[in-house]
A and B are shown apart, each in its own frame.
Chain A
Amino acid sequence: MRNPPYEIVLKPYGKALVDLALRREDVICLGADLTRQTETDLFRDQIPDRFINVGMAEANMIGIAGGLARAGHTVFVNSFGVFCTRRCYDQIAMSIAYPNLNVKIVGFMPGVSSPGGPSHQAIDDIALMRALPNFTVVDLTDAREIAQAVDAVADHPGPVYLRLKRGEIPVIFDDDHHFSLHEAKVLVAGTEVCIVASGMMLPAALVAAQELKHHGVSAAVVSAPVIKPLDRRTILDAAKGARLVITAENHSIVGGLGSAVAEALAEAGVGVPMRRIGLRDVFAESGSREFLFDKYGLGVRDIVRAAWKEVGEGRPEPQVKEIQTAPGAYAPV
């Protein structure tokens, strides 16, 4: 595992999807007028016969994906997270989830990583997709995991929602990292605080754990890229004995990773206090990623603060720095 500033790569998803489709003729790529933004310009240019731009018609796109999947195809459906979940929810439920079809919905620009305001900010997509039976829900930010996840979801027989960061993609993990649809991973061992993170909050969780360690608090970091089905065993093992569990997600605290972890802890009778880092049941606004992450409490500081309130024993809260990214390193709309 690497430390920030992370190396940045472009289009790991788009490249992996082309590689997959060159090996597998059953793969079809559908899009809705966001071809470059969803990295599928690579697919369009290299495998044009199996690329279909449905246009701005997400409901129709989902229905077409269902028909193609019933006829035996593996279909990747691409758009921004808001448009390929909330906008066409009944279509997804009836045309894909209920018949348990081999359709992979890929939603870019998660949470408040979009400067486009609430219309473009997918803050409830995980909650929505998690509520649908048969769906697997994955939230990723790392380039190596994204590339491996394309093959993993293609091999998984059933519907998947793959939530991906848009634009410049960090390389957080080393070459030997292995992504699994069935496992959460303890990236950092620790005893007092257990931080469970997904997607774009993973870097902040790792830095927060380093800061806490520096100030004498032992904090574990569990990476939980697969929100559903949640790897309860790994998370429960890491949480047992801790004084506090913190979940960190670039999403509403309602219905996402925080809710999934809370359900797991409560049902297992693990009586550890819990704090959820995420959007606190509000719509956000337009603004840069840095501004919005700061305003809505998605920073290293917010994780450290949540931990410190529980385990700081009244000592002054550590002053921590946010992860610096180069100007323009997060693509605008």
Chain B
Amino acid sequence: MGKYPTENIGDLRRLAARIRLNALQMVAIQGFGYLGQALSAGDIYAALFGSGALRPRHDRFIVSPGHYIVVLYAVAAELGLIDPAELSSYGLDGALLEAISTERTPFVDLSCGSLGQGLSGAIGFALASRFARDDRRVFAFLSDGEMEEGQVWEAAMFAAHHKLSNLVAVIDVNNSQVDGTVTSVTTIEPIAAKWQAFGWRTEEVDGHDVGAVLRALKTRQADKPLVVIAHTDILGRLKSFPPTVDGHFIKLDASLQEVVIRELENFDA
């Protein structure tokens, strides 16, 4: 897509809508799947990949929660980083694009189906860049539920102690995990205060405001890692879903698909 990278907010919002539509069409193949992840994180991925904040195949990209890999497929196909034809076999037996990421997953530097492990791997890449004295930034995408895993905090402590300023964590705070809302399972707030206490620079934004996400990604400080805490809605603030839907693993019948597609296609950037 020739218009990317761009910092034009309308174009980035249109990219986010395309990400959601691609994800919807992938999930529709089986009629169920990790669509909520794309609805909540679509704007975040548009800001990361559409703006040039992340330089594909130069900067590192880690998807810590493998259930979000659908969002990466959706944006990578849109930007020509993977073959868009692969999307049509998403999740099918033998397909390249698996529903939860594996070592076969294209493009991404690291992704983990077992949660809470991505930030540690990202630190390995950040240290490697420091050893190599290169200018690569390392972007680690995390979800809020993962913060229940202790390893995230081991990694957070380490990254700040070693002043890994080339490391950026982006957390999709969509308040959704398997058993329900994150807030009903455990209290993870105050999220920003926790990361600050661990020695990180924090940017807390509305994760559906691509401009705000982009501004947060572009901030730099020489001696601290950065975490962008992006508050989102697991249904991407779409009005077509009934309130009872399970955002973590959405079931899509044909009539629901139709109204969601119509809402996304009529989206006004």
Chain A interface residues (CB < 8 Å from chain B): 28, 50, 52, 54-55, 57, 59-73, 90-91, 94-95, 98-99
In the bound assembly, the distance between CA atoms of A260 and B141 in angstroms comes to 41
Q: In the complex, what residues of B have CB within 8 A of residue A61's CB?
A: 120
8 Å CB contact of A90 from B114, B118, B120: B114
Cross-chain contact A59 with B125 (CB below 8 angstroms): no
18 pairs from A and B in contact (CB 8 Å cutoff): A55-B158, A57-B151, A57-B154, A63-B124, A64-B155, A64-B158, A66-B120, A67-B110, A67-B122, A67-B123, A67-B126, A68-B128, A69-B124, A70-B121, A71-B132, A73-B128, A90-B114, A91-B120
Please indicate the chain B residues that have their CB under 8 angstroms from the CB of A65 in the complex.
Answer: 124
CB pair B117–A91 under 8 Å, yes or no, is yes
Tell me the bound Cα distance from A24 to B257 in angstroms: 56
- Pairwise interchain contact A67-B131, C-beta atoms closer than 8 A: no
Check: B173 CB closer than 8 A to any chain A CB.
no
- Once the chains are docked, how many angstroms separate the CA of A56 from the CA of B199? 18
Q: Which residues of B contact A (CB under 8 A)?
A: 103, 109-110, 112-114, 117-129, 131-132, 150-151, 154-155, 157-158, 162
Decide: A95 near B128, CB < 8 A? Known: A57-B154, A64-B123, A67-B122. Answer: no
A63 contacts B109, C-beta separation under 8 Å: no
Q: How far is the CB of B197 from chain A (nearest CB, A)?
A: 17
**Interface on chain B toward A: helix, strand, loop, or mixed SS?**
helix
Instruction: Evaluate contact between B158 and A66: CB separation under 8 angstroms.
Output: no
CB distance from B30 to the nearest CB of A (A): 25
Q: How far is the CB of A58 from chain B (nearest CB, A)?
A: 9
- Give the interface centre of B112, B124, B151, B162 by most chain A CB atoms within 10 Å: B124
- Within 8 Å by CB of B155, from A60, A68, A71, A90, lies A60
A154 to B132, CA, bound (A): 20
Interface of A is mostly: helix
Contacts of B123 in A (CB 8 A): 60, 63-64, 67
Contact B124 A66 (CB under 8 A): yes
A67–B158 CB distance below 8 A = no
Quote the shortest CB–CB distance from B102 to chain A (angstroms). Answer: 8
- B127, closest chain A residue (CB): A68
Q: Knowing A54-B158, A70-B109, A70-B110 touch, does A95 contact B117 (C-beta < 8 A)?
A: yes
> Please, which residues of chain A bring their CB within 8 A of the CB of B127?
52, 64, 67-68
State how many angstroms separate the Cβ of B168 from the closest Cβ of chain A. Answer: 15
Q: How far is the CB of B208 from chain A (nearest CB, A)?
A: 30
> Which residues does chain B contribute within 8 Å of A57, judged by CB atoms?
151, 154-155, 157-158
Q: What are the residues of chain A within 8 A of B121 when measuring CB–CB?
A: 63-64, 66-67, 70, 95
Chain A positions within 8 Å of B119 at CB level: 63
Give bound CA distance, A57 to B152, whole Å.
11
Docked CA distance A288–B263 (Å): 72
Residues of chain A within 8 A (CB-CB) of B120 are 59-64, 66-67, 91, 95
**B151 touching A70 by the CB < 8 A rule?**
no
Distance of A63 Cα from B152 Cα, bound (Å): 11
Chain B residues positioned under 8 Å from A52 (CB to CB): 127, 162
Chain B residues within 8 Å of A64, by CB:
120-121, 123-124, 127, 155, 158
Q: How far is the CA of A99 from the CA of B119 in the complex (A)?
A: 17
Q: B124 is contacted by which of A71, A90, A94 (Cβ under 8 Å)?
A: A71
A95 to B: closest C-beta gap in Å:
6
Assembled-state Cα–Cα distance A59/B155 (Å) = 9
